[in-house]
A and B are shown apart, each in its own frame.
Chain A
Amino acid sequence: MTALPKQMKLGLYATATGGHVAGWRHPDAYADMGANLRRCIEMAQLAEDACFDFLFLADSQAMRGSDWDVLSRGSTRYVGQFEPLTLLASLAAVTEHIGLVATANTTYEEPYSLARRFASVDLLSSGRAGWNLVTSSNEEEAHNFSAQSHMQHADRYRRAREFAEVVLGLWQSWDADAFPRDKARGRFFEPSRMHLLNHQGEFFRVRGPLNVPPSPQSHPVVAQAGASEPGKALAAATADIIFSLLGEFDAARAYYADVKARLPRHGRTPDDLLILPGINIFVAATEAEAQAKQAAVQGLVDPVVGRSFLEMMLGASLGSHPDDGPLPELPPTNANTSMRQKVVDVAREQNLTIRDLYMRMTDKDTFTVVGTPAQVVDQMELRFHGGAADGFVIMPSFFPNSLRDVVEQILPELRRRGLFRTSYEGRTLRENLGLRSIARPALLA
């Protein structure tokens, strides 16, 4: 018997009003997605009916930026939205299959609390939770957590590495058979099946055990996005999923090969880590209609918002450089360095003006595909079969239309080609992603 052909994994970027800075202004958009549970439930159930592997909630523990006028013109900079872990738990109660992944940051959290909250959502959802590990990437967060300044990149990653070690360790506090709950003898758990962590490190001292036992998928799936060198190293050691923002085929393929080649040294196989680039899709029956859809959203971009969004991605001010001029040389940054490099490379290669660039960036993503279902799926398949992606995170411009378009036009085409499931294979997120249920995660060397 031959094995079934491999299929794509699909996640849904489900944060606030959508991925596009002007999406909320579209006449059909739910502009209150960040504060309306009913709409979030509608979205989650739509994605679940479509058999998405998971939905993903990005996060920031501060609004991104200090220019209140700019911030007041949009929602994508974490202005007003549900706190992701609480929203995830609410969605766990009204869904049955879809994975529930949220960002939580290692710079301003305590590992015990974070390990516990994700373990709790994992149990509430019967094994469908995932943690997207990020380090804080902005100064604004520091100001909300009694920190004088933003932690340096290298320090953040050292802390993140130790943080991951503690969380993964706490998730091993109890064996699956640790709780006999023997009423007759009065013995609730079996002491030899409990494991105290007793971690002593540079940043943390944590005894354990966690007061939440393992879920049906043993522990939550771990996602990461870091594209920098320390980010890749950490992901190769600890992550189950990488959210990359590389859409350009050659760059995506090189990245894919680089990361997968790092796995064997951690005792892992290439299948143990899935690489899922973000993709923003404008689809319609004809190419012209698809382009019109994109133009409708792009036409809603407020120049003030577009320019400042670009500044945020660059981690630098553009000062008085005009929108119609080229991108100037930039001073060094302590922000997300891989993000900046990508933007700068695109600008230089294609000789773009500041305006060109921010219009290009407004969907948060350089991988935007516009066209008919067949054209879009061709691009997805090229990457999937070409060693550049194990699947994708769909980033709708706004809700609900951009998601509906994908469900109604892209998924049937993917299924026609045998590239996506028609029903969930397993009960847990780990099972649906085809990830081994590992008793002990790859250890940090």
Chain B
Amino acid sequence: MSRAQQMKLGISLVSNGTHPAGWRLPQARADAALDFSLWKSMALAAERARIHFLFLADGVAVRTAAKDDDALSYSGRIDQFEPLTLIAALSAITERLGFVATASTTYNEPYHIARKFASLDHLSGGRVGWNVVTSWSEAEALNFSREKHLEHGVRYGRAEEFVDVVTGLWDSWEDDAFLRDAASGRYFDPAKMHVLRHVGEEFSVRGPLNIARSPQGYPVIAQAGSSEPGQELAARTADLIYTAARSKEAAIAFYSSVKGRLPKYGRMRQSAVVMPGILPVIGRTEAEAQEKYDALQQLIHPKVGLAMLARAFGDLSGYPLDGPLPEGLADSNGVKSGREALEALARRDRLSIRQLYLLVTGAAGHLQLFGTAESIADQMADWFRNEACDGFNIMAPYHPGGLTEVLNTVIPELQSRGLFRTEYEGRTLRENLGLAHVPNRHALREQTAAE
């Protein structure tokens, strides 16, 4: 089977926008995060534009590296709905739009996650996906009776087993196990129920799940791991793979790397779709787009910028903002590879502290696309045609305009070029993403044995 001719498109919505200063724009709703009627209208607008899914990032804490409460209070990403309850509510008022929500394998139990996503899949008629994350922040650990976050290798070991337990529980029931036959008094057929009895390193879970099998077989599984263990987990288990790539070359390399791992797990290249995040900044001219972006960047409060750098470099608030990154900083507890790359960049381009935080704060490592709807569509088409991706996860920098601008300009442009659909092809998220319904492993085994 050849590659699909049309892109898959998700929209990433979080709190008051994916850009840390988006909420400060005059046209932004600074209280968008908790206005359910606004989220309803955003979901309905995305559905009218035939978007595949809304993607909701999440953390189980106010996640921050701000040095104190004062510095934290300048962040616009504090308050938000809990995503599973939000997508349950939104699925009740939509019919075709998909929803992908983050849930951590570090701070949850697999039975809970299997059950909640199966429930959401029933509530929505097969339109949800689980974005598997292992969590990275210290702040989350401190809300869950831990001193610090789990070490990377341990987190991934737990995540691997966690996903296996969840998919095992999703196969507790065959698709036709529930009879509800009033005459005979049989509610389900015990022969079509399968008890998991998982006993592993991290979990022992008997099962069965106390909800019928998902309309999609399994809800869609999404992952964003770029590290070596992250790519392996994604290649083995994910249907939808996110990534942050700043250049087409990097995106092509990632695409080829992760797709190349699929056959090892008995999967085909088209069994998973790769969707990098992009932050489009749209103007009537290129210059206007650049101006709009500069205006947005200007609104990043220095306290927010310094908190972003603190993850890599620790507290820099004692140094002049327009001076260079100081030499000989102590090792921080943060992400090591990220720090080295940033430090090298700062030295090479002689960036001030301010310039450095502006660079990392805007789209948080994702591709920023500037231009008119036409030129942004050109760039997206270029990536898509050159196997840098199967589509994009479009980040809305503020609400609701950051979303509606894209829906009103870029989407029609892509549609007019035949690069994006004008109708939903299927009912479920899997159908719309071109992914197969997942057969029940027990039914499959019996079927194979019979043949």
Contact = CB atoms under 8 A, between A and B. Distances in A.
Interface of A: 24-27, 29, 31-32, 34-35, 37, 41, 60-63, 68-69, 71-75, 78-83, 85-94, 108-110, 112-113, 116-117, 119-121, 123-124, 126, 140, 143-146, 179, 181, 183, 186-191, 194, 203-209, 211-213, 300, 302, 305
A80 B210 contact: yes
B217 to A, nearest CB: 15
A204 B118 CA distance: 29
Contacts of B312: none
B92 A179 contact: no
B31 A188 contact: no
B210 A179 contact: no
Interface residues of B, number: 79
Contacts of B122: 35, 37, 82
A188 B23 contact: yes
Nearest to B59: A211
B89 A92 contact: yes
Given A37-B122, A108-B109, 13 more contacts: A35-B211, A63-B210, A68-B193, A72-B189, A82-B119, A85-B85, A85-B88, A90-B89, A123-B36, A186-B299, A188-B75, A189-B73, A207-B142
B116 interface: yes
B84 A117 contact: yes
Interface stretch (B4-12, B199-207, B252-260): B199-207
B70 A186 contact: no
Nearest to B90: A93
Interface string B11-39: 00000000001011110101100101000
Contacts of A34: 211
A87 B187 contact: no
Q: Which of A71, A83, A110, A181 has the most CB of B within 10 A?
A: A83
Nearest to A76: B187
Given A31-B182, A69-B190, A89 B144 contact: no
Give the 10 A-B residue pairs with the shortest CB-CB distance, closest first. Answer: A89-B88, A120-B82, A83-B119, A143-B206, A89-B85, A191-B69, A186-B301, A181-B30, A207-B142, A93-B89
B82 A117 contact: yes
A305 B187 CA distance: 12
13 contacts: A35-B122, A35-B211, A37-B122, A41-B92, A72-B186, A75-B180, A80-B188, A82-B211, A93-B90, A110-B145, A124-B85, A186-B303, A191-B73
A75 B34 CA distance: 36
B196 to A, nearest CB: 9
B108 interface: yes
Contacts of A205: 142, 145-146
B424 interface: no
B107 interface: yes
Contact of A24 (B86, B109, B187, B204): B187
Interface string B27-59: 010110010100010000000000000000001
B60 interface: yes
B112 interface: yes
A51 B166 CA distance: 40
Given A35-B212, A112-B143, A212 B203 contact: no
Contacts of B301: 186
Q: Which of B79, B119, B143 has the most CB of A within 10 A?
A: B143
Given A85-B116, A144-B206, A211 B86 contact: no
Interface of B: 21, 23-26, 28, 30-31, 34, 36, 40, 59-62, 69-70, 72-76, 78-82, 84-86, 88-93, 107-109, 111-112, 115-116, 118-120, 122-123, 139, 142-146, 173, 178, 180, 182, 185-190, 193, 202-208, 210-212, 299, 301, 303-304
Given A91-B92, A124-B81, A124-B89, A86 B111 contact: no
Given A79-B188, A112-B143, A112-B144, A120 B86 contact: yes
A211 B304 CA distance: 18
Nearest to A119: B82
A90 B91 contact: yes
A191 B27 CA distance: 25
A93 B211 contact: no
A212 B23 contact: no
Contact of A188 (B76, B109, B207): B76
A72 B187 contact: yes
A213 B33 CA distance: 11
A83 B128 CA distance: 15
B85 A62 contact: no
Nearest to A188: B76
A37 B92 contact: yes
A68 B40 CA distance: 42
Given A31-B180, A35-B178, A63 B88 contact: no
A445 B84 CA distance: 34
Contact of B205 (A78, A112, A145, A305): A145
B187 A144 contact: no
A119 B90 CA distance: 17
Contacts of B119: 82-83, 86-87
Contacts of A62: 210
B143 A208 contact: yes
Q: Which of B61, B85, B146 has the most CB of A within 10 A?
A: B85
A211 B63 CA distance: 9
A74 to B, nearest CB: 5
B104 to A, nearest CB: 10
Nearest to A193: B73
A72 B116 contact: no
A383 to B, nearest CB: 34
A212 B81 contact: yes
B81 A144 contact: no
Contacts of A212: 79-82
A91 B36 CA distance: 13
A60 to B, nearest CB: 7
A146 B158 CA distance: 13
Contacts of A94: 92-93
A80 B93 CA distance: 24
A75 B187 contact: yes
A90 to B, nearest CB: 4
Contacts of B182: 24-27, 29, 31
Contact of B112 (A61, A116, A204): A61
Contacts of A82: 119, 122-123, 211
Contacts of A85: 84-85, 88, 116
A196 to B, nearest CB: 8
A94 B93 CA distance: 8
Nearest to B84: A86
